[in-house]
């Protein structure tokens, strides 16, 4: 006789589900109110940082000032260091390495957290200033992957360094302080935009139309040639001592002039320019500043040029991190290649947060969510995982256990649907040094737009994750 079909009772189903299935719920429900308060408090510091340091140069200046306050001194190659020593190495004012020497030095490898401090923006061309039809404007060349139409009709501020003819440097910021003038790119009124509105978003605003309005009043004179441009140049000369030719030796960047603000009735999010990737740079910086005597030497890297492929001597496709680790190794009588081969790295960069308004480009089971905690990506890349270093199962397991053990709220996901697009980080350049690397970071809404959005809880959990990685005794 056939046995009657047995049913699992509902309590057992509940237990089985708890034991066997992944549970997904809003991360705010998985942490205490006290934790949320701590996250909010941590993010006040982050907002202040966002408002002070909008460009790679400003981040380096900010980080060096904080580091010196925390007892860090310039690194000197060839000098021996002792556990607990705190050093930094400034790469041309645009990238920075900070390290705290571990109890074991670097013989067991170093622990690296790498984030980037450049963000998409409008740079000036070498001959930027021109006058047309009674107005003076700047020609720009955009930097990084932007949707060009998003950069019109928003307030912009000017940041950067001009090296004058005599070689002296002028650092300037204009449009950030209350009462300072700001700048903008114009767009066509809808009344006259019939033709523009028929174009694709990609073509609606072209690169050569990202011209920044700089003035409209001429110098009062009899001649009528270039007098508005002359007036703009006269003001720049009075303020900064520069002539028009000095633009050729300048790094001038225009960025959104907004300040970081809380978003939502519940103030759970921060809206700001340049979360990508200062939202990981700040946790990586604060984690190294707070590191005391780690087991292995910990190294925070704040890199430039990620947004254009990490190319250039301040980007991570340069050897500056390799050289730094080589100097650490040499000071302890070790070979750089042995230290690097035992090293581990959190490549800390933002990932796409699932956007309910554009849900069709995301795969819901494999996306990172706002308030889900620090986002882990086993791999990035595009299409068939093109261009990704991909973390091994073993290294993902190590990081997963580390986060669990330290109460770090985390989630894992991909950028979006397999064929929807893709992106990369600095992970592959560090992996090429034979280091174990995994991508982690804060999920961002409206990434690369002038006003990006992140969750405060996710920012704090990224800090906790890096801190746990630095403090591990394994
Ligand atoms: Mn990034
Ligand atoms: Mn980016």
Residues 88 and 190 in one domain: no
CA of 166 to the centre of ligand 2 (A): 36
441 is written with which tokens? 């970071």
Query: What band does 2 get if pLDDT is binned at 50, 70 and 90?
Result: low
Give me the count of residues in the chain.
474
Please tell me the number of the ligand nearest to residue 441's CA.
1
Rounded to an integer, the average pLDDT of 236-262 is: 98
Q: Look up the pTM and report it.
A: 0.96
256, 287, 321 — which closes off a domain? 256
- Each residue of 278-308: pLDDT tens digit? 999 999 999 999 998 899 999 999 999 999 9
Residues 298 and 221 in one domain: no
CA–CA distance from 124 to each of 159, 347, 413, 465 (Å)? 11, 30, 37, 38
Residues 280 and 206 in one domain: no
Residue 344 belongs to a domain: yes
450 is written with which tokens? 């002038």
| Residue closest to 345 by CA, chosen among 118, 117, 116, 110 | 110
CA of 439 to the centre of ligand 2 (A): 13
What is the count of structural domains for the chain?
2
b/e 291-323 (16+ beta carbons within 10 angstroms → b): beebbbbbbbbbbbbbbeebebebbbbbebbbe
Residue 9 belongs to a domain: no
CA of 200 to the centre of ligand 2 (A): 23
CA–CA distance from 431 to each of 24, 91, 260, 338 (Å)? 31, 21, 34, 14
Please tell me the number of the ligand nearest to residue 347's CA.
1
CA of 471 to the centre of ligand 2 (A): 28
202, 231, 256 — which closes off a domain? 256
Residue 268 belongs to a domain: no
Q: Which residues surround ligand 2, an ion (CB under 5 A)?
A: 276
CATH number of the domain residue 106 falls in:
3.40.630.10
CA distance 462 to 268: 16
Residues 6+ apart with CB under 8 A from 70: 86, 289
CA of 93 to the centre of ligand 1 (A): 19
CA of 117 to the centre of ligand 1 (A): 9
Residue 261 belongs to a domain: no
Q: CB 220: neighbour CB atoms within 10 A?
A: 7
Residues 6+ apart with CB under 8 A from 416: 352, 361, 362, 363, 367, 422
- Each residue of 112-132: pLDDT tens digit? 999 999 999 999 999 999 999
Rounded to an integer, the average pLDDT of 419-446 is: 95
Residues 251 and 317 in one domain: no
| Residue closest to 418 by CA, chosen among 340, 461, 361 | 361
CA of 275 to the centre of ligand 2 (A): 9
Residue 18 belongs to a domain: no
SS3 199: coil
CA of 165 to the centre of ligand 2 (A): 34
CA of 396 to the centre of ligand 2 (A): 23
Judge whether 444 and 262 are in contact, CB under 8 Å. no
CATH number of the domain residue 221 falls in:
2.30.250.10
Residues 131 and 115 in one domain: no
Q: Which residues surround ligand 1, an ion (CB under 5 A)?
A: 276-277, 349
- Domain range for 297: 27-119+273-471
Residue 445 belongs to a domain: yes
CA of 224 to the centre of ligand 1 (A): 47
CA of 361 to the centre of ligand 2 (A): 18
382/316: higher pLDDT: 316
CA of 345 to the centre of ligand 1 (A): 16
Query: What band does 421 get if pLDDT is binned at 50, 70 and 90?
Result: confident
């Amino acid at each position: 006789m056939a046995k009657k079909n047995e049913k699992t009772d509902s309590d057992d189903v509940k237990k089985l589900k708890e034991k066997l299935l992944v549970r997904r719920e809003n991360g705010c429900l998985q942490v205490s109110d006290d934790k949320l308060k701590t996250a909010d408090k941590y993010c006040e510091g982050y907002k202040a940082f966002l408002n002070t340091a909008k460009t790679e140069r400003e981040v380096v200046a900010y980080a060096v000032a904080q580091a010196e306050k925390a007892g860090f001194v310039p690194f000197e190659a060839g000098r021996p260091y002792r556990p607990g020593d705190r050093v930094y190495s400034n790469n041309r004012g645009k990238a920075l390495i900070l390290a705290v020497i571990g109890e074991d030095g670097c013989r067991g490898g170093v622990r690296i957290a790498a984030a980037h401090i450049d963000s998409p923006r409008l740079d000036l061309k070498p001959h930027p200033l021109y006058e047309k039809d009674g107005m003076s404007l700047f020609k720009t060349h955009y930097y990084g992957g932007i949707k060009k139409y998003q950069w019109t009709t928003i307030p912009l501020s000017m940041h950067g360094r001009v090296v004058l003819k005599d070689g002296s440097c002028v650092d300037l910021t204009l449009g950030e302080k209350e009462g300072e003038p700001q700048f903008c790119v114009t767009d066509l009124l809808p009344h006259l935009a019939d033709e523009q509105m028929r174009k694709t978003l990609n073509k609606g605003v072209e690169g050569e139309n990202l011209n920044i309005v700089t003035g409209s009043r001429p110098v009062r004179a009899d001649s009528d040639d270039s007098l508005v441009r002359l007036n703009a140049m006269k003001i720049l000369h009075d303020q900064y001592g520069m002539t028009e030719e000095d633009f050729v030796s300048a790094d001038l960047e225009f960025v959104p002039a907004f300040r970081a603000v809380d978003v939502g009735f519940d103030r759970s999010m921060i809206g700001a320019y340049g979360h990508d990737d200062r939202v990981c740079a700040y946790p990586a910086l604060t984690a190294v500043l707070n590191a005391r005597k780690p087991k292995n030497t910990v190294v925070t890297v704040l890199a430039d040029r990620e947004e254009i492929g990490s190319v250039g001597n301040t980007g991570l496709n340069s050897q500056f991190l390799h050289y730094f680790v080589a100097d650490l190794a040499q000071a302890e009588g070790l070979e750089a290649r042995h230290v690097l081969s035992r090293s581990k790295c959190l490549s800390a960069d933002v990932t796409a947060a699932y956007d309910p308004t554009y849900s069709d480009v995301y795969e819901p089971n494999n996306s990172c969510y706002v308030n889900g905690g620090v986002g882990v990506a086993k791999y990035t890349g595009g299409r068939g995982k093109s261009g990704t270093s991909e973390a091994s199962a073993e290294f993902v397991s190590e990081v997963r256990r580390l986060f669990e053990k330290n109460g770090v709220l985390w989630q894992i996901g991909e950028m979006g649907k397999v064929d929807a697009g893709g992106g990369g980080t600095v992970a592959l350049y560090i992996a090429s040094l034979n280091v174990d690397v995994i991508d982690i970071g804060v999920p961002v809404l409206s990434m690369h737009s002038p006003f990006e959005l992140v969750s405060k809880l996710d920012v704090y959990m990224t800090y906790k994750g890096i801190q746990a990685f630095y403090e591990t005794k394994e």
